[in-house]
């Protein structure tokens, strides 16, 4: 696993580099990923607009911002994404805002189709669902936690609809976007911060056990 992660990191993008790549491909009439279609290009264009808006409007909750600024242990947030992914467009700006507030978080992004060996290590119920955030110890490159492809209420919204209707179609996709809009990124911030807190608490416990 460590070799796969290190290889992915070597080919990873900073947030601004990722956005620039998506924009360049759109200008060429393409989307990221191995598959190309008018639909994927259309989604990429929508997502580019969405990301630009969220970059301006997302605000990190005050207590979470304070915790992020006080982080001492360093982490790499490695995100598996694609430019056409609607959830990624909603979530990457939140992750970036959080990373910008902390000197201890380095946000890196890789494309799913270019990193299938990495994706296969972090499947969701057997599927290559994205975005997927892999939180790494910056020094050891060990996996601390992983998260995604959606915050829990959004996951439940989709799961309940699919259980009832057997598909994920346009009406539920619209409802999902409405949920993201109303939530303003707060649930994602809380879930990601809790992962970091849990890891730090567990790491401190282990250190205390070693000392005793």
In a domain, 200, yes or no: no
Asked, as a colleague might, if the bond just before 149 is cis with ω within 30 of 0, I would say yes
Give the pLDDT band (50/70/90) at residue 86. very high
Please, are residues 154 and 179 in contact by the beta-carbon 8 Å criterion?
yes
7-17 mean pLDDT: 98
Percentage of the chain lying above the pLDDT 90 cut: 93
3-state helix, strand and coil shares in percent for the chain, rounded to the nearest 5: 60, 15, 30
Q: Which residue has the tokens 């393409």?
A: 30
Total Cβ atoms within 10 A of residue 167: 10
Q: Where are the alpha helices (DSSP H) in 58-151?
A: 62-69, 86-100, 116-119
- Give 108's strand partners: 78
In a domain, 195, yes or no: no
pLDDT at residue 137 greater than cutoff 60:
yes
pLDDT at residue 10 greater than cutoff 90:
yes
In a domain, 193, yes or no: no
Give the pLDDT band (50/70/90) at residue 210. low
pLDDT of residue 204: 80
Token code pair at residue 179: 């949920």
Q: What distance in Å separates the CA atoms of residue 143 and residue 138, rounded to the nearest whole number? A: 10
Asked, as a colleague might, if the bond just before 131 is cis with ω within 30 of 0, I would say yes
Q: How many domains does the chain have?
A: 1
Give the pLDDT band (50/70/90) at residue 205. confident
pLDDT of residue 196: 96
In a domain, 9, yes or no: yes
Q: What Å distances lie between residue 70 and 53, 73, 170, 194, 197, CA to CA?
A: 28, 9, 42, 14, 12
Give the pLDDT band (50/70/90) at residue 212. very low
Q: What distance in Å separates the CA atoms of residue 87 and residue 57, rounded to the nearest whole number? A: 17
- The phi, psi pair for 109, rounded to 5°, reads -130, 135
Q: What distance in Å separates the CA atoms of residue 166 and residue 159, rounded to the nearest whole number? A: 10
Domain span at residue 87 reads 2-149
77-92 mean pLDDT: 98
CATH of the domain at 68: 3.40.30.10
pLDDT at residue 117 greater than cutoff 70:
yes
Q: 3-state class of 7 per DSSP?
A: helix
Percentage of the chain lying above the pLDDT 70 cut: 97
In a domain, 208, yes or no: no
In a domain, 164, yes or no: no
pLDDT at residue 110 greater than cutoff 90:
yes
Q: 3-state class of 172 per DSSP?
A: helix
Q: For the chain, what is the mean pLDDT?
A: 95
165-171 mean pLDDT: 94
pLDDT at residue 211 greater than cutoff 60:
no
Token code pair at residue 205: 């416990």
pLDDT at residue 198 greater than cutoff 70:
yes
pLDDT at residue 209 greater than cutoff 90:
no
In a domain, 199, yes or no: no
């Amino acid at each position: 696993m460590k070799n796969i992660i290190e290889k992915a990191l070597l080919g990873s993008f900073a947030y601004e580099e990722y956005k620039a790549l998506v924009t360049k491909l759109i200008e060429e009439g393409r989307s990221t990923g191995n598959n190309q279609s008018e639909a994927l290009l259309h989604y990429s264009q929508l997502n580019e607009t969405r990301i630009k808006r969220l970059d301006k409007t997302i605000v990190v909750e005050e207590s979470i911002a304070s915790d992020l600024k006080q982080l001492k242990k360093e982490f790499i947030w490695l995100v598996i994404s694609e430019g056409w992914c609607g959830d990624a467009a909603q979530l990457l700006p939140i992750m970036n805002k959080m990373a910008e507030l902390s000197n201890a978080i380095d946000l890196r992004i890789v494309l799913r189709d270019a990193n299938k060996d990495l994706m296969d290590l972090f499947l969701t119920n057997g599927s290559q669902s994205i975005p997927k955030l892999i939180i790494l110890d910056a020094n050891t490159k060990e996996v601390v936690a992983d998260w995604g492809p959606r915050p829990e209420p959004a996951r439940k919204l989709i799961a309940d609809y699919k259980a009832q209707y057997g598909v994920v179609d346009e009406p539920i996709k619209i409802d999902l976007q409405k949920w993201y809009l109303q939530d303003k990124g707060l649930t994602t911030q809380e879930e990601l911060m809790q992962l970091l807190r849990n890891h730090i608490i567990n790491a401190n416990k282990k250190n205390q056990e070693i000392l005793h």
